[in-house]
Amino acid sequence: MRIILLGPPGAGKGTQAKIISERFGIPQISTGDILRKAIQEQTDLGRRAKAFMDNGQLVPDDLVTGIVHDRLAEPDCSRGYILDGFPRTLAQAEALTESLKGQRGGIDFVIDIRADLSRLVKRLTGRRLCKNCQQMYHEEFNPTKMKGVCDKCGGELYQREDDTEETIVRRFDVYESQARALESFYASSGKYRPVNGDLPVDQVTREVFAILNH
Ligand code: ADP
Ligand code: AMP
């Protein structure tokens, strides 16, 4: 199954992608995670992406589409995948459609996790991640048993540099400038399914699974 997760920063794409990945045994492909890893490892890609990410801007399309094209060619994607945070622009969506041409079926579902932006600031400022396994937590909505320590692997938690109020506002603007074009691109494909991301995590998961199991 090939799935795209759309939605604003903080909507719960990463959270739901991890749950779908475990349930269906397909990889989560998060362009944000790939880019953050490149920055951490100080690769050429990381050096080129860093300033855009720190400012809450999108990394240029050609860099990102190249990463995804290569990643989708890896063997673990043969049974499907979940794209989390890609595509983010119409040009990326068109490039993806182009690169999937010739592959049986293309994308099966485009799930748009819709949410009220005003409520997402709190989700993002409270987001914490494990340095080791990237598991997601929230200081209030999904805290770890021991403060600052990952429940899963004991790794240390950290806060993303772009999860500050100032950068969040910029990321919302970027999202809003692209969202409608992406929605209409996929709405015409018949694969587009909106879900209510304002609900608690397990209720969003229920909506998502109802779509995937249909
Ligand atoms: P995205 O990948 O869309 O940016 P995340 O999955 O990283 O969003 O979620 C952002 C933060 O909000 C995380 O701290 C996560 O634990 C929390 N979160 C995710 N979904 C929900 C939800 N439905 N209700 C409350 N908190 C949520
Ligand atoms: P995310 O982890 O999805 O919140 O993404 C964090 C940051 O990575 C974004 O604010 C962008 O700077 C960059 N990024 C992630 N995915 C993309 C994408 N598909 N296109 C452009 N930039 C991206």
For residue range 40-52, what is the model confidence (pLDDT) as tens digits?
999 999 999 999 9
In angstroms, what is the span from residue 103 Cα to ligand 2's centroid? Answer: 26
Tell me, using a 6 A CB cutoff, whether residue 7 lines ligand 1: yes
pLDDT of residue 104: 67
User: How far is it, in rounded angstroms, from Cα 85 to Cα 5?
Assistant: 7
User: How far is it, in rounded angstroms, from Cα 183 to Cα 64?
Assistant: 20
CB-based contacts of 62: which residues, under 8 Å, 6+ apart?
Answer: none
Structure tokens at 13: 């794409």
Structure letter (DSSP) for residue 155:
P
Question: Where in 152-197 does DSSP place strands (E)?
Answer: 157-158, 192-196
Best residue for ligand 2 mutational test, from 31, 121, 164 (most atoms within 8 Å of Cβ): 31
- Residue extents of the structural domains in the chain: 2-116+166-212
Task: Give bridge partners of residue 82 from the DSSP assignment.
Answer: 3, 28
Dump the DSSP string for 41-87: TT-HHHHHHHHHHHTTPPPPHHHHHHHHHHHHTSGGGTT-EEEES--
pLDDT of residue 109: 97
pLDDT of residue 24: 96
In angstroms, what is the span from residue 187 Cα to ligand 1's centroid? Answer: 24
Query: What is the identity of the amino acid at 108?
Result: D
In angstroms, what is the span from residue 59 Cα to ligand 2's centroid? Answer: 7
pLDDT of residue 105: 65
Cα–Cα nearest to 107, from 182, 12, 201: 182
Pocket of ligand 2 (CB under 6 A): 9, 31-32, 35, 52-53, 56-59, 64, 85-86, 88, 92, 162, 171
In angstroms, what is the span from residue 123 Cα to ligand 1's centroid? Answer: 6
Cβ(83)–Cβ(27) under 8 Å? no
Tell me: pLDDT of 102 over 80.
Answer: no
Cα–Cα nearest to 171, from 27, 13, 45: 13
Cα–Cα nearest to 100, from 116, 86, 117, 121: 86
Catalytic residue among 2, 36, 123, 127: 127
Best residue for ligand 2 mutational test, from 28, 33, 35 (most atoms within 8 Å of Cβ): 35
Tell me, using a 6 A CB cutoff, whether residue 27 lines ligand 1: no
| CATH superfamily to which 2-116+166-212 belongs | P-loop containing nucleotide triphosphate hydrolases (3.40.50.300)
CB-based contacts of 156: which residues, under 8 Å, 6+ apart?
Answer: 130, 131, 132, 148, 149, 150
Cα separations in angstroms, 13 against 99, 141, 147: 23, 16, 24
Among this protein's residues, is 13 annotated catalytic? yes
For residue range 137-185, what is the model confidence (pLDDT) as tens digits?
999 999 999 999 999 999 999 999 999 999 999 999 999 999 999 999 9
Tell me, using a 6 A CB cutoff, whether residue 200 lines ligand 1: yes
pLDDT of residue 214: 83
